Amino acid sequence: MKIHVLPSGPIQTNGYLLLEEEAGEALLVDAPGGVLDLIRPVLEAAKCRLRELWLTHGHWDHMQDGARIRRETGAAVRAHAGDRQLIETPELMEGFMGQRLGLEGVTVDHWIEAGDRLRAVGREFEVRHVPGHAPGNVLFYDPAGGVAFVGDALFRGGVGRADLPGGDFETLARSIREQIYTLPDETIVLPGHGPRTTVAAEKAGNPFVPATA
């Protein structure tokens, strides 16, 4: 399966576009500002329709284009209710950030929970809850493809900030150890910012959350 990595927006947040060309369907994981303009030509060239938009969590940089994408493509939006307030009223974050970005709340069509199995682009994804960076951070694990979209829980050689509203480092460390490090070692971890990594590489060398406490 081809995964298009599309960093965009003011802090280069990764949007991930997955296509199933035979069925003419596409899935987007996260919606940073400007990503709609990046996915349009890819969808057109592949003759695919965006069917699903999944948000890893409710931080503004992961959903800045969410409302527009839902309106203009008809994609169904899925997210975890732990971030409901952030997703529906993102302007709350503007006060915290000290700048106005004209953020628009996103209507979520389906609230998801840990253990849910989501079918899209010919694959079945497992939802795991990985709070600590944001209360509603989830990951989407595709066992057949050997990939996990983890949002801002874990980065290559790093972890998500735990000092934002609703964040907590101990919770984050537990999420990483219990929900990410328990995936198969060879699993490719696709984070919300920066380059990809693997479960094995982070278990062996992540300086913030070593494999054992």
Minimum Å gap between C-beta 212 and Zn ion is: 26
Tokens of 74: 């008809």
Q: Which is nearer to Zn ion, 121 or 176 (CB)?
A: 176
Nearest partner of 15 among 2, 24, 27, judged by Cα? 27
Tokens of 133: 């960076």
Strand ranges in 87-174 using DSSP code E only, listed in sequence order:
110-112, 117-120, 123-129, 138-142, 147-151, 154-155, 158-159
Strand ranges in the chain using DSSP code E only, listed in sequence order:
3-8, 13-20, 25-29, 49-54, 76-80, 110-112, 117-120, 123-129, 138-142, 147-151, 154-155, 158-159, 188-191, 197-198
CB-nearest residue to Zn ion: 59
Using CA atoms, how far apart are residues 10 and 157, in angstroms rounded to an integer? 22
Report the sign of the C-alpha dihedral through residues 30, 167, 109, 154, in that order. positive
Amino acid at 194: G
Tokens of 181: 């490090």
Minimum Å gap between C-beta 31 and Zn ion is: 13
Tokens of 46: 């592949």
Q: Which is nearer to Zn ion, 20 or 140 (CB)?
A: 140
Minimum Å gap between C-beta 6 and Zn ion is: 17
Q: Which is nearer to Zn ion, 142 or 152 (CB)?
A: 152
Minimum Å gap between C-beta 96 and Zn ion is: 12
Minimum Å gap between C-beta 136 and Zn ion is: 10
- Which residues here bind Zn ion, judged by CB under 5 A? 59, 152
Amino acid at 167: G
Q: Which is nearer to Zn ion, 19 or 127 (CB)?
A: 127
Minimum Å gap between C-beta 89 and Zn ion is: 16
Q: Which is nearer to Zn ion, 59 or 70 (CB)?
A: 59
Q: Which is nearer to Zn ion, 59 or 128 (CB)?
A: 59
